[in-house]
């Protein structure tokens, strides 16, 4: 078993100002790759503390990944601490220097003394992440690989995937690869998922299964040593959960909906009230969405619903903006306005206040298809942002379930 340790550096984490997400991401990806994480330590931007925890970790771990404290500002102490702990003098790293100089030159800027700190690394370091304009570095000490990555989650993640994991796989070639599958579920709770599949899981004791609510979805993680076992269990879970599973592994709801729209050759338009543009944002998060989405309207006020979507004034006045009737006219109106095949409309109260006709959390979702208009009523729990997200995702899920029929 190859044991690794994770060290996170950052005052802002110890003071509770920022939640550390890097250790979770690292633990998840390293475990998936077959490595065992023995300890995670968070320390502040204090040279003495970083030295102390680094020296303790080196004694026990086969490899170490440290993130944070690498930036160009005064509060970043990691590089100095590493130099001190490992007794490696700081020197200008040639590879990092050439790269930074070339980058600056491309933008017509000179290499200034203030840039020097950015390429000053402990002797023997191999820079990491140059391709992403983020400088981490790797060192071998006591025959153990030590990786120092920037604390910015996105940069950390890119370097982890592109350089650290491949490097670890070369250094430790014989770890047992696990076969994995993530099933993404929407529309039923984690408890319902558990109730439906727990007896099935009992007959696959050798497969590790865990479920996690990833708001507003539920994810099932499956890990097996044998691919055949995994495939068999996945097939049986799919039989039980059916269309409540919307995607696998990294597939998102907007991607799944987009693929289905493309397949059917349908164009979509959306009329959003309480979601305020969130559905349009989710749909256009997918590259190529212009092939099936050309417009949407955010009709936050009654007047906007009447003017832009042609919802009759008397309907809004009689039934209120949050009503089955209004949702129906909105869906029909946006479909007509956009000359699209499908129109989605969402109206509701996200809170904290509501109107006389409905409570906070009440949402009507209208779906106008080439042949009919359907409206469903929902009652969501949560704060403003949760209700918006639940409404947007439920609208997309409703469309997905219509498209797969």
Q: Are 373 and 340 in contact (CB under 8 A)?
A: no
Site membership for a copy of itself, residue 210 (CB under 8 A): yes
- Is 12 near a copy of itself (CB under 8 A)? yes
CA distances from 112 to 94, 109, 131, 263, 271 (A): 16, 9, 21, 54, 52
Under rule CB under 8 A, how many of the chain's residues touch a copy of itself?
99
Q: Which two tokens stand for residue 150?
A: 């920037």
Q: Which is nearer to a copy of itself, 5 or 139 (CB)?
A: 5
What gap in Å lies between CA 391 and CA 393, rounded to an integer? Answer: 6
Would you give the end-to-end CA distance of the chain in angstroms? 47
User: Exposure of 222 by Cβ count < 10 A (0-12 exposed, 13-18 middle, 19+ buried)?
Assistant: buried
Token duo for residue 243: 């269309």
Candidates 393, 388, 256, 377; CA nearest to 327 is 377
- Cβ atoms of 270 and 283 within 8 Å: the answer is yes
Residues numbered 72-91 forming contacts with a copy of itself, rule: CB under 8 A: 72-75
308 binds a copy of itself (CB under 8 A): yes
Are 237 and 231 in contact by the 8 Å Cβ rule? The answer is: no
Q: Which of 395, 391, 375, 372 is nearest to 383 (CA)?
A: 391
For position 100 contacting a copy of itself by CB under 8 A, the verdict is no
CB of 124 to a copy of itself, least distance (A): 27
Q: Does 223 bind a copy of itself (CB under 8 A)?
A: yes
* By the rule CB under 8 A, 251 interacts with a copy of itself: no
111 counts as binding a copy of itself under rule CB under 8 A: no
Tokens for 386? 């949760």
Asked whether position 108 contacts a copy of itself by CB under 8 A, the answer is no
> Segment 177-206, which members bind a copy of itself (CB under 8 A)?
180, 182, 190-191, 194-195, 198, 201
Q: Are 9 and 68 in contact (CB under 8 A)?
A: yes
Q: How far is the CB of 107 from a copy of itself (least distance, A)?
A: 11
Q: Which window, 38-46, 102-110, 224-232, 324-332, contacts a copy of itself (CB under 8 A)? A: 38-46
Decide whether 84 or 211 has the Cβ nearer to a copy of itself.
Answer: 211
Asked if 281 touches a copy of itself (CB under 8 A), the answer is yes
Q: Per rule CB under 8 A, is residue 22 in the interface with a copy of itself?
A: no
Residue 259 touching a copy of itself (CB under 8 A): no
Q: Is residue 391 within 8 Å of residue 327, measured between CB atoms?
A: no
* Rounded Cα distance, 184 and 186, in Å: 7
- Span 133-162, contacts to a copy of itself by CB under 8 A: 152, 154
* Chain residues 347-386 in contact with a copy of itself, contact rule CB under 8 A: 350-353, 384-385
The interface region with a copy of itself, picked from 32-40, 87-95, 102-110, 238-246 by CB under 8 A, is 32-40
Smallest separation (angstroms) from a copy of itself to the CB of 140 = 24
Window 385 to 404, contacts with a copy of itself (CB under 8 A) = 385, 388
Question: For a copy of itself, which residue of 55, 123, 188, 214 counts as binding (CB under 8 A)?
Answer: 214
Report the distance separating Cα 159 and Cα 148, nearest Å: 10
By CB under 8 A, the residues from 54 to 73 that bind a copy of itself are 56, 71-73
Half-sphere exposure of residue 377: CA atoms within 13 angstroms, side-chain side: 9
């Amino acid at each position: 078993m190859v044991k690794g340790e994770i060290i996170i550096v950052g005052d802002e984490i110890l003071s509770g100002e920022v939640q550390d997400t890097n250790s979770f991401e690292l633990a998840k990806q390293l475990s998936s790759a077959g490595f065992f994480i023995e300890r995670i330590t968070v320390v502040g931007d204090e040279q003495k503390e970083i030295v102390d925890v680094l020296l303790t970790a080196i004694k026990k771990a086969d490899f170490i990944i440290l993130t944070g404290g690498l930036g160009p500002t005064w509060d970043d102490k990691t590089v100095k601490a590493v130099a001190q702990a490992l007794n490696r003098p700081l020197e200008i790293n040639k590879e990092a220097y050439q790269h930074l100089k070339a980058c600056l030159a491309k933008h017509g800027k000179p290499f200034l003394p203030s840039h020097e700190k950015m390429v000053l690394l402990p002797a023997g370091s191999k820079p990491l992440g140059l391709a992403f304009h983020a400088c981490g570095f790797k060192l071998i000490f006591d025959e153990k690989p030590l990786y120092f990555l920037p604390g910015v989650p996105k940069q950390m993640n890119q370097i982890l995937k592109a350089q650290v994991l491949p490097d670890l796989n070369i250094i430790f070639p014989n770890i047992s690869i696990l076969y994995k599958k993530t099933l993404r579920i929407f529309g039923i709770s984690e408890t319902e998922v558990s109730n439906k599949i727990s007896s099935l899981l009992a007959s696959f004791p050798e497969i590790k299964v865990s479920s996690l609510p990833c708001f507003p979805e539920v994810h099932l993680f499956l890990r097996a040593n044998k691919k055949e076992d995994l495939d068999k269990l996945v097939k049986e879970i799919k039989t039980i959960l059916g269309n409540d599973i919307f995607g696998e592994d990294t597939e998102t709801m907007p991607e799944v909906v987009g693929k289905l729209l493309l397949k059917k050759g349908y164009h979509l338009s959306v009329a959003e009230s309480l979601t305020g543009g969130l559905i349009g944002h989710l749909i256009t998060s997918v590259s190529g969405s212009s092939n099936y989405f050309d417009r949407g309207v955010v009709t936050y006020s009654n007047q906007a619903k009447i003017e832009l979507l042609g919802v009759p004034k008397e309907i809004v006045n009689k039934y209120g903006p949050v009503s089955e009737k209004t949702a129906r006219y909105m869906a029909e109106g946006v479909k007509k306005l956009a000359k699209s095949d499908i129109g989605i409309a969402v109206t509701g109260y996200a809170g904290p206040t509501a109107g006389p006709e409905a409570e906070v959390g009440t949402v009507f979702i209208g779906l106008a298809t080439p042949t009919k208009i359907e409206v469903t009523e929902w009652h969501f729990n949560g704060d403003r942002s949760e209700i918006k997200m639940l409404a947007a995702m439920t609208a997309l899920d409703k469309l997905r379930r219509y498209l797969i029929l």
